[in-house]
Amino acid sequence: MTASDITTDTSISRALLDWYDQHARDLPWRARPGAPAPDPYRVWLSEVMLQQTTVAAVKPYFAKFTETWPTVEALAAAEEAKIMAAWAGLGYYSRARNLVKCAREVAARGGFPDKEAGLRELPGLGAYTAAAIAAIAFGQRAVVVDANVERVVARLFAIDEPLPATRKTIRAAADTITPDERAGDFAQAMMDLGSSICTARDPKCLLCPLSDACEGRRSGDPARLPVKPPKKAKPERKGRAFWIERDDHVWIVRREGEGMLGGMAALPDDGWSAREDGSGDAPVEGEWASLGAVRHVFTHASLTLEVLRLESSRQPEGSGQWWPISDIESAGLPTLFAKAARLALAQRA
């Protein structure tokens, strides 16, 4: 199917909105169907957090952020290190760096733009996030396509060209069923349908409000759509992290730059990256003891990180700080280094 094969069908949006009015998920960043639109700050924050992350994982982080920084102006005024520490464990840390940049830009502008084009100008906002904010927070007609919507639309129209080449066709199809009114509710309804009914492995077609119109269901095998390319094997990387103790404190550094885990608190390491193994020297000379290794899977690579321990009265090279070991959980370590810390603490017990 191509974009020219698709015609507008308003009955689909009506059926989906009727279903959404009865089955909308109760989420802390949402307004109920028929209620005034939610604060654009809360919509933006939730959409950034939800990128490649589950709703269950996001809820406690969203609650913490909105309690600590209840407005975009409050977030813009916060120290970047505190925001990065609060984000620790949520993953995909470039999102947190972009969050800081975007909050400061929005505060400087005096608020969020209310049109999709203006939202696209903000740091870190791609087509999906800008469309979602425009539709959900500002009631603008915008075509919102995330992974759930992509799956629903590919099945609804039986679009069987492989991803990612078919995304233009999927977006064109989504455009034909996006209504002028209640575009925000429609977008959220599509997300809910994809997450609860039109699921990746076991679509519940008998419960779907769009089943009568679904070409994928009529084909007899909707689960095969959308067609995805085969997954590539992730490269295996190796590295070392250094647990340096002094007087019940451990040496914590802050990672530099825009690269992997950039801006996050961390243990010193040997310079591993998604592209190469580590080869750097330890930050202090001494008799290092190996505590074992932890495994972590990133988007582009898998890592085996050996954890080495040393008790030293010497100050390590470079900037950092001595952090109380008893309070290590509040250091804001990302998941990889939190795993390494847990390994070290288990050996101390």
Tokens for 173, please give them. Answer: 């199809």
Integer Cα distance of 173 and 152 in angstroms: 11
Tell me: pLDDT of 256 over 90: no
For 64-108, the pLDDT digits (tens) are 999 999 999 999 999 999 999 999 999 989 999 999 999 999 999
Residue 236 annotated in active site: no
Mean pLDDT taken over the chain? 93
**CATH of range 8-224; options 3.90.180.10, 1.10.340.30, 3.40.50.620, 3.30.300.210:** 1.10.340.30
Tokens for 206, please give them. Answer: 């008998």
Q: What pTM did the predictor assign?
A: 0.86
For residue 349, what pLDDT is reported? 60
CA distance from start to end of the chain: 62
For 114-169, the pLDDT digits (tens) are 999 999 999 999 999 999 999 999 999 999 999 999 999 999 999 999 999 999 99
Q: Report yes or no: 190 and 149 within 8 Å, Cβ to Cβ.
A: yes
For residue 103, what pLDDT is reported? 98
Domain boundaries, the chain: 8-224, 236-348
For 82-91, the pLDDT digits (tens) are 999 999 999 9
Integer Cα distance of 11 and 211 in angstroms: 12
Q: Which helix (H) or strand (E) holds 304?
A: strand 302-311
The catalytic residue among 47, 116, 150, 306 is 47
How far, in Å, are 154, 249, 327 from residue 323 at the CA level? 51, 5, 8
For residue 138, what pLDDT is reported? 97
Tell me: pLDDT of 274 over 90: no
For residue 2, what pLDDT is reported? 42
CATH number of 236-348: 3.90.79.10
